[in-house]
Amino acid sequence: MKTLVFDTGPIISLALTNLLWLLPELKKKFKGRFLIPLSVKKELVDKPFHGKKFKLEAIQLMQLIENKVLEVIDEDKVSKRAKELIEEANKIFKGFHHNINIIQEGEMEAVAMAELYNADGIVIDERITRTLIEHPPGLQKHMERKLHTRLSVNKQLLEKLSDQLDDVYIIRSTELAAIAFEKGLLNKYIIPRKVTKRDVLDATLWALKLNGCSIRSDEIRKISQEVVK
Amino acid sequence: MLPKIKEDIISVLKKAIPALKKEDFTELSDLSNRTIHDASIFQDADSISCAVLMYSLSKFCQQCKEKDISLPNFAAQLEKALDLLKKDNIKLYENKIKEIFKVMKKYDEKVNIYFEEAIKRAKIKKASWMHEHGISIARTAELLGVSQWDLRNYVGVTKVPDKNLGGLTAKKRLEVARDLFK
C-alpha cells in the first residue's frame, strides 16, 4: 500500500490555516496511508493539549488520529534508526572544531520512518532538513555566510547520509495544497466574478507560507502559473 | 564554558554596560545577535541566555523609559556578572544572570509587560535567528524551550524562508506530488 509520512511542520501549517479538513479528502485521493511517528504526535497533540493557545488545534488533530486519517507509528526500530541518522547528520558540519547539531531527533524520526517503511514520499515544510537531504552544499554555503566562519565538512558521513536517503522524495504542505486544488477540493472557495481559481490557490499557498511552510515567493508564483492554466 | 564562548560573552557585556548607562537600548538589542553565532554553533545555555537577556533588557528598559519608571541598576548587575565571568566563576556568573531576569520579573507589575510573555517573545525571536543561521526549527525550539507552533507561526512572517538554499525546483517538487497522487 502507498505510504506518505508527515513531519510536524506541514500539519502545523495546515492547522494554522484552517485546512486540516484537506487531509481526509487527500487521503481518499492518495488511496494509501498517512503516517506520523510518535514524536510528531507528541509535538502536534500532547504538548499543545496541555496549553491554551493551540489546544483546539490539538483536539482537531486528535480527531484525525481517532478517525485513522493519520496513523501514529510507535516502533522501537524507528527511534533506533532515527538515532543512527541523527548521530551521522549532526557530525557532518563542524565550526571551531565543534560538531553542529543542525536537526532534532523528532525530525529525523519522520525521515527514518520514510526509509524503513519504503514510503512513497515524506512531507516536510522545514527547509534545513529538506536541504540536508537534497542539497547539502547549499546548506553549508548558507551556514558559512551566516555564521561568518568556514565550516569543516565530514564528506564521508555526508555521502553516507545522501546514499541512505537517496530514495526519499520530499514535498511540502504547499504541494499538497496544489494537488488539492487540482483535484477540485478547493473549488468551494470560488465565488463567480469575485473570487477566481487563481485567488483561491494564491491565497492558500500564501497562507501556508505565512504560517510556517518554507517556500519562497517566486516558488509560489511558479506553482500558481503551473497549476492554474 | 568554552574559551571562545566566554570571550564573546565578555565582549558583549563590555559593550552592554556603557549602552545601559547611556540608555542606548537599540545597541542592547543589536548585542543580542552577537552571541547567536556561538549559540548556533555550540548550542550552549550561556550563549543562548546572553542573547535572550540582552534582547529582553532592551525591551524592558524601553518600556520603563516610555512609562517614566526609574530603571533598576542593571549596569551594576552586569558589571558584577562580567567580573565573575572574568574570574572564571561560571556558576556564580550564571546565577547573576538569573538574578537579572528575576529583577525584571519583579518589576512586571509596574511596567506591565507581562514578563513571561515578553521572555517568550524574546526566545521566539532568538530561535528564529538561530534558524536563519542554519539550525532546524525543531532544534531551535528545543534549545530555546519554545513550542514549534509558536515558532513556525513567527518564522512564517519573516524573510527567513525566502533564501534559496537549493534542492528540488518548485516545478520538480510539484511533479513529485502529482506522481504521488496519480
Q: Is the pLDDT reported for residue A225 higher than 90? A: yes
Cβ separation of B177 and A176 shorter than 8 Å?
Answer: yes
**pLDDT at residue B163, rounded to an integer:** 79
Q: Which of A154, A171, A188 corresponds to the end of one domain?
A: A171
Helices (H), chain A: 8-16, 22-30, 38-41, 47-49, 55-66, 76-89, 105-116, 127-134, 136-147, 155-164, 173-182, 197-210, 217-227
Whether residue A37 sits in one domain with residue A112: yes
Whether residue A16 sits in one domain with residue A104: yes
Is B137 in contact with A126 (CB distance < 8 Å)? yes
pLDDT > 90: what percent of chain A? 86
Whether residue A65 sits in one domain with residue A107: yes
Is A130 in contact with A219 (CB distance < 8 Å)? no
**What is the domain extent for residue A70?**
1-171
Count of CB pairs separated by less than 8 Å, A with B: 169
Q: Which of A171, A193, A216 corresponds to the end of one domain?
A: A171
Mean pLDDT of A125-153: 91
Residue A135: its chain B contacts at CB < 8 A?
Answer: 165-167
What confidence tier does B37 reach under pLDDT thresholds 50, 70, 90? confident
pTM (two decimals): 0.91
Whether residue A86 sits in one domain with residue A35: yes
Q: How far apart are CA A118 and CA B47, in angstroms?
A: 40
Whether residue A210 sits in one domain with residue A160: no
**Residue A89 in grid coordinates:** 547528520
For B65-110, what is each residue's pLDDT tens digit? 888 888 889 999 999 999 999 999 999 999 999 999 998 888 877 7
For A141-181, what is each residue's pLDDT tens digit? 999 998 888 999 999 988 888 888 888 899 999 999 999 99
A180 to chain B, minimum CA–CA distance in Å?
Answer: 10
What confidence tier does B113 reach under pLDDT thresholds 50, 70, 90? low
| ipTM computed for the complex | 0.93
Mean pLDDT of B143-154: 92
Mean pLDDT of A68-77: 96
Which residue is closest to A176 within chain B, CA to CA?
B177
Whether residue A203 sits in one domain with residue A158: no
Q: Please give the tally of structural domains in chain A.
A: 2
Residue B148: its chain A contacts at CB < 8 A?
Answer: 8-9, 12, 43
A115 to chain B, minimum CA–CA distance in Å?
Answer: 16
Residue A129: its chain B contacts at CB < 8 A?
Answer: 136
Q: For Cα atoms A200, A202, A205, give the angle at the middle one, nearest 5 degrees.
A: 105
**pLDDT at residue A112, rounded to an integer:** 94
Cβ separation of A222 and B170 shorter than 8 Å?
Answer: yes
Using only the alpha carbons of chain A, give its radius of gyration: 18
For B2-36, what is each residue's pLDDT tens digit? 999 999 999 999 999 999 999 999 999 899 888 88
Q: Is the pLDDT reported for residue A1 higher than 80? A: yes
Cβ separation of A12 and B152 shorter than 8 Å?
Answer: yes
Whether residue A160 sits in one domain with residue A197: no
Interface test with B, best of A175, A204, A213, A220 (most B CBs within 10 A): A175
Closest CA to A27 of A57, A70, A60, A66: A70
Q: For Cα atoms A50, A56, A61, give the angle at the middle one, nearest 5 degrees.
A: 90
Whether residue A51 sits in one domain with residue A83: yes
Mean pLDDT of A110-125: 94
Q: Which range, A190-204, B64-78, B145-159, has the best average confidence (pLDDT)?
A: A190-204
Query: Which of residues 139 through 178 in chain B touch A, CB cutoff 8 A?
Result: 139, 141-142, 147-150, 152-153, 155-157, 160-171, 173-174, 176-178
Whether residue A104 sits in one domain with residue A11: yes
Q: Is the pLDDT reported for residue B112 higher than 90? A: no
For A45-56, what is each residue's pLDDT tens digit? 999 999 999 999
CATH number for position A44: 3.40.50.1010
Cβ separation of A179 and B181 shorter than 8 Å?
Answer: yes
A191 to chain B, minimum CA–CA distance in Å?
Answer: 26
Residue A98: its chain B contacts at CB < 8 A?
Answer: 2, 41-42
Residue A223 is nearest to which of B155, B157, B170, comparing CB atoms? Answer: B170
**pLDDT at residue A92, rounded to an integer:** 93
Write down the mean pLDDT value for chain A. 94
B121 to chain A, minimum CA–CA distance in Å?
Answer: 14
Query: Which of residues 64 through 93 in chain B touch A, CB cutoff 8 A?
Result: none
User: What number of CA atoms fall less than 13 Å from residue A48's CA on the CB side?
Assistant: 23
Whether residue A197 sits in one domain with residue A89: no
B25 to chain A, minimum CA–CA distance in Å?
Answer: 24
Whether residue A130 sits in one domain with residue A96: yes
Whether residue A192 sits in one domain with residue A163: no
Cβ separation of A216 and B165 shorter than 8 Å?
Answer: no
Mean pLDDT of B141-149: 93
Q: Is the pLDDT reported for residue B160 higher than 80? A: no
